[in-house]
């Protein structure tokens, strides 16, 4: 094979790769399918806080009756615990000193996710991603 023939083959290969990248959104590999989360009705949204230092984010959640009703419709339960309450002890040990902290618990009580982002949107996203609700 001559040099000009090799150069022509290389150019053709480069052209195929570039066109392939453009037509397939930047990759010639197939996109992975998202992993579907099995819905876990009966999951819990648990907020661990220091009640004496309640943040505006937690106060907004408590006052948002429409959101609390939406949680119920999604078959999720809601609870706020002060970090000094005895029933909060296992969760306080698991999440460390950051307050407030949100935990998403499965129906069996297993911790599915934790976050220090205590907002309606972040909790909704955690419920969707981790509990399928």
pTM of the model: 0.70
Higher pLDDT, 61 or 26: 61
Flag whether 39 is in a domain.
no
Domain that holds residue 54: 44-131
In this structure, the answer to whether residues 64 and 118 fall within a common structural domain is yes
Dihedral (CA of 19, 22, 23, 27) sign: positive
Higher pLDDT, 1 or 92: 92
In this structure, the answer to whether residues 20 and 82 fall within a common structural domain is no
Render pLDDT for 37-85 as a digit per residue (tens, 0 to 9): 788 889 999 999 998 999 999 999 989 999 999 999 999 999 999 989 9
* C-alpha distance from residue 90 to each of 52, 59, 111 (Å): 20, 24, 11
Cα angle 101-102-106, degrees, rounded to a multiple of 5: 140
In this structure, the answer to whether residues 50 and 100 fall within a common structural domain is yes
């Amino acid at each position: 094979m001559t040099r000009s023939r090799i150069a022509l083959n290389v150019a053709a290969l480069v052209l195929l790769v570039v066109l392939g990248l453009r037509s397939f959104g930047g990759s010639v590999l197939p996109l992975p399918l998202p992993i579907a989360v099995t819905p876990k009705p009966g999951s819990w949204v648990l907020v661990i806080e220091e009640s004496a230092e309640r943040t505006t984010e937690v106060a907004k959640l408590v006052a948002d009756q429409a959101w609390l009703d939406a949680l119920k419709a999604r078959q999720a339960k809601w609870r706020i615990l002060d970090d000094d309450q005895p029933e909060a002890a296992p969760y306080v040990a698991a999440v460390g000193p950051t307050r407030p902290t949100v935990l998403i618990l499965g129906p069996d009580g297993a911790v599915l996710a934790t976050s220090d982002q205590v907002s309606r949107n972040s909790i909704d996203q955690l419920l969707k991603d981790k509990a399928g609700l």
